[in-house]
Amino acid sequence: MSMHWGRKAAPTTESIMSVRTRFAPSPTGFLHVGGARTALFCYLFARRHGGDFVLRIEDTDRERSTQESVDAILHGMDWLGLDYDEGPVYQTQRFDRYKEVIQDLLDRDLAYYCYCSRERLDALREEQKAAGLKPRYDGRCADGVASPPEGVQPVVRFRNPKDGVVQFNDAVRGEVTISNTELDDLIIARADGTPTYNFTVVVDDLDMNITHVVRGDDHVNNTPRQINIMRALGASEPQFAHLPMILGPDGQRLSKRHGAVSVLQFRDDGYLPDALLNYLVRLGWSHGDQEVFSRAEMIDLFALDGVNKAAATFDMDKLGWLNQHYLKESAPESLTSAFEYQLQQMAVSLANGPDLGEVIVAQRERAQTLREMAEQSVFYFQEPDGFDEGAAKKHLRPVAAEPLLALRARLTDVSDWQAETLGVIVNDTVEALELKLGKLAQPLRVALSGRAATPGIDITLALVGKERTLARIDKALAFIKERAKQA
């Protein structure tokens, strides 16, 4: 795979012909909803403009970064189908490059060594806060240290411009202006030599020729610092687009306390990746009043000027509605693998069970998620644990014995065990007994599934199968008989 970030000199401006976006998560946790939306917007923008989408793993925080989180990010991207053109690129594999650029800045007096202790910096911060000032480094080491203290490993600070402003046009927020007097001299390398986030991001974005940086608006305050470093390196900044945050129903920033925020948790809860992507694209972006978008439509229609400035609220009910829409509209065969996964998670054996596609067709009008569908479908594959108490009390009464016996006798000789044939037999039975359909169908549902709600009784009979149907009717009749004894 061709990479665009292997140059040895400091990053420079190049003629960039195509759009290049990047998604750059830190592997300190799982891929969450906010990150997934950012990845989606980067992916859509690159695809619409025929450009490249790069995945970069920002793993310089060695204490908090874990392989488990890396794997969760990669699996989440794969499940969502957000295919990247380059990567994953790991920052920890680029330390030599960062050291090279830091040395270049030191050589050009655009960075300097700082020997200030943590104690001094903490005391300075407290003094400034007590005086009502914004805490910031005071530049004590900016002009050099005549006698560096022995045994102290210095940090490296970027020499931020002392006057002027940083101005950039954000594709979402519009023009942003920050005075350089608001910014202090940022640490770009820690005492152990490891580079810091705001520095590595700049080097990576320039080396990788990123044209559009699309990220959450929690990074807005970092942007002026990064732009100053870019300019010090002789480069022009990319187009920035800072996305509004996602809020929970309580108006607070979306977090673990709001429930399932890990992308893979949505998978395990039975949501479809296309439904989640469709929901995420509408969290902060709109195209008229349209709610449902195919992936092709998202790519064709997505534009940064359609992103809202206001925060978006995550609504599980709306996601559920969308997911059910996709369950109804998707080809059954496209859902069987995910449906099988749900059943396997519930330790349901699929041996001798009905065709999964047929079960999906029978159940998808009745469930919002594949997990819910699986829970409602267990009885097709294995004996119910028992009868729902309320359903049995209402429907498995002595009066139900005669129609169940009559139906069982008719079913015994059926060789063409198909829904259409079975539906005719059920109707013939209730007509012969001069009953309403419910007087047979409801006890039969409880006998077959353990509860009173199932798809059409003809489809239910067909999916349960002949042998299991007869055995479960017998079990229900025994229950009715025992109940009569106790009456």
Q: Which residues are catalytic?
A: 256
Query: What ranges in 208-307 are assigned the alpha helix state H?
Result: 223-232, 263-268, 273-281, 295-301
Structure tokens at 220: 């807005």
Structure tokens at 422: 């079975």
Structure tokens at 273: 């990746």
Q: How far apart are CA 61 and CA 335, in angstroms?
A: 39
Question: CA-based angle 130:127:134, to the nearest 5?
Answer: 70
Phi-psi region of 369 (alpha: psi -120 to 50; beta: other; left: phi over 0): beta
Q: CA-based Rg of the chain, rounded to a whole angstrom?
A: 32
Cβ distance 200 to 7 under 8 Å? no
Question: Interhelix angle for 466-486 vs 401-412, to 10°?
Answer: 160
Q: How far apart are CA 304 and CA 18, in angstroms?
A: 16
State whether residue 110 is helix, strand or coil. coil
Cβ distance 371 to 340 under 8 Å? no
